[in-house]
Amino acid sequence: MPRGRDRQQEFSKLPIPDREKGEMFAIAEKVLGGPHISVICEDGKTRLGRIKGKLLKRMWIQPGDLLIVRPWPFQDEKADILFRYTKTEALWLSRKGLLPEELNVFE
């Protein structure tokens, strides 16, 4: 297990939403079954999130998890789920001030 400085480098490699591609932070609100999850996005909207096929079996999401989502350009009420942070990673992002105020429930 990495310690000290190595641990900081490990967290600094975390993906951050690419704003140019329309990505944003979101919190999982409710698991609806299959690949569908209700998410609350940082812009205040609740969207129907979908875990893409190749990530479906690898990404187990529970209510309260911090996510990166990309809203669909043609249906704003839906979004693709791109990444899930662990609780430890979400706490680290919160302490560094990288989370928007609306979603910062990890303090």
- Which residues 6+ apart lie within 8 Å of 74 measured at CB? none
The pLDDT assigned to 107 comes to 66
Count: domains in the chain: 1
The pLDDT assigned to 54 comes to 72
pTM: 0.84
Structure tokens at 50: 């979908």
- 41 located within any domain: yes
pLDDT tens digit sequence for 32-55: 988 899 999 999 999 999 998 777
Query: What is the rounded end-to-end Cα distance, in angstroms, of the chain?
Result: 24
Domain span holding position 59: 23-103
Q: What is the CATH number of the domain that holds 53?
A: 2.40.50.140
Q: What's the CA gap between 50 and 79, in Å, rounded? A: 6
- 12 located within any domain: no
Where does the chain show beta strands of DSSP type E? 24-33, 36-41, 46-51, 66-71, 78-84
- 10 located within any domain: no
pLDDT tens digit sequence for 51-105: 987 777 777 889 999 999 999 999 999 999 999 999 999 999 999 888 888 887 7
